[in-house]
Structure 1
Amino acid sequence: MLSPEFLLTALIIVVAPGTGVIYTIATGLGRGRLASIAAATGCTFATVLHLMAALAGIAAILHTSALLFQLIKYAGAAYLIYLAIQTLRDRGPVRFEADAAPKTLVRTAWTGFVINILNPKVSIFFLAFLPQFMSADASRALGEILTLGGVFVGLTFVVFVLYGQLAGLMRDRILSSRRAMDWMRRVTAGAFGLMGARLAFERS
């Protein structure tokens, strides 16, 4: 169950830079603190669904079905590469401009959701990670996995929001410099491109 070891391990995993972290930071820098919360919300909701998939056994199916796993993985890789191209063109979901309209916030959250939901490794991660901190009592398994998974999801949201808020605080300095904006656009696009390639070529 909950232990200092679980909390520390979960925190390290959540804090480590990934597609969700990079997207949330880029959103905070480009569109501000409110938009970064929308990004964090979308990413976290996808994590909730991955947890539900693990509970439903879908993660086990993904683990045993190489074709299904590869299809979802390649779709995720293609979407990340699409984000990289659109970011360079500054016409896609990750834009470096002031825009916090409700419709845009929904789109921002949706992009974060798609980024995370198209990574089948997240569901399999839950399947492999959570049992390590569960007791051997089968009657308590459901409650334990919900508790552990809930804490992990909560940590994900809090850390992502903090990343986004810190990025939002730096936003004015970034947006006031055209050179800094171009640099951020290229770095963000490069990160998405590299992660897309890594996801595509990484072994399951």
Structure 2
Amino acid sequence: MIIEFFPQLMTVGVIAIFMAISPGADFVMITRNSIFYNRKSGLFSAVGVSVAIWLHVAYSIAGLAVIISSSVLLFSIIKYCGAAYLIYMGYKTFRANTSLDIEPSQGSMSGWAALRIGFITNALNPKTTVFFLSIFTQVVEPGTPVLIQVLFGAIISLAHLIWFSGVAIFLTQPRLLSAFKRSKNTIEKIVGGVLVAFGVKVAFHSN
């Protein structure tokens, strides 16, 4: 059965890779948690993003993707909640007084908090919602088995986990952290401003 759907699986895999590596709110949030706290926070946030993918998979398999795609109100609610969260996190980062700790054990963010931030950021990300609307309304056909749809989700989730874990590991190299620490205040303002900008863009982007 899997061989029969191999072309679709490959298509989803390629799209998932480009989806994960394209700049967006998830990337900025992983960057924020990695360099302002520690590698552990970045990795837990990556897991949160990966877990959130399954929320999109669940409503897509349940058929809610069609409802969301046809309901301006429902999609708008998701969009504005996501925008508000990004603006809130951006404001907190802009006004933050965090410490850039080279030693992973010195971070002040718990693993659960980092995972939660990654999860919420992706769950309320309209970009991800639109991506799943495309996948499950165009690639998935009425006769596509649930197992294959779950495999689609697994591929997308794994792609995000691998990419963002790699981002967290790369950004927390000691030499990079030393450079970040010297420009701590500037980086906080830039990251905070970018998150707010993403939030504003999401809020005013046309459906």
TM-score by length of 1: 0.85
Q: Which moved more, 1:117-126 or 1:183-192?
A: 117-126
Structure 1 residue 8 displacement after superposition: 2.8
Matched, 1:158 2:165: no
Aligned to 2:39: 33
In structure 2, the residue matched to 1:56 is 62
Superposition map of 1:2-81 within 5 A: 2-3=6-7, 4-81=10-87
SS at match of 1:203: coil
Aligned-pair CA distance for 1:137: 7.8
Q: Note if 1:114 corresponds to 2:117.
A: no
Deviation at 1:120, TM superposition (A): 4.2
* Structure 1 residues 106 and 128: CA distance shift in structure 2, 3 A: same
* 1:83 maps to 2:83: no
Q: Extract unaligned runs of 5+ from structure 1.
A: none
- CA deviations 1:89-142 (Å, max 9, x no partner) are 116xxx4443435x62211111111111122442342131256555x681x432
> Identity across aligned pairs (percent)?
24
Report if aligned partners of 1:80, 1:192 keep a CA contact under 8 Å in 2: yes
Contact 1:62 1:120 in 2 (8 A): no
CA contact (8 A) 1:30 1:171 kept: no
| Secondary structure of the corresponding residue to residue 107 of structure 2 | coil
Secondary structure of the structure 1 residue equivalent to 2:203:
helix
Among 122, 140, 146, the alignment partner of 1:142 is 146
Partners of 2:99 and 2:138 lie apart in 1 by 41
Normalising by the residue count of structure 2, what TM-score does the alignment of the two structures yield?
0.84
Residue equivalent to 2:107: 100
How far apart are residue 39 of structure 1 and its match?
0.8
Give the match's secondary structure for 1:76. Answer: helix
Letter in 1 for 2:191: T
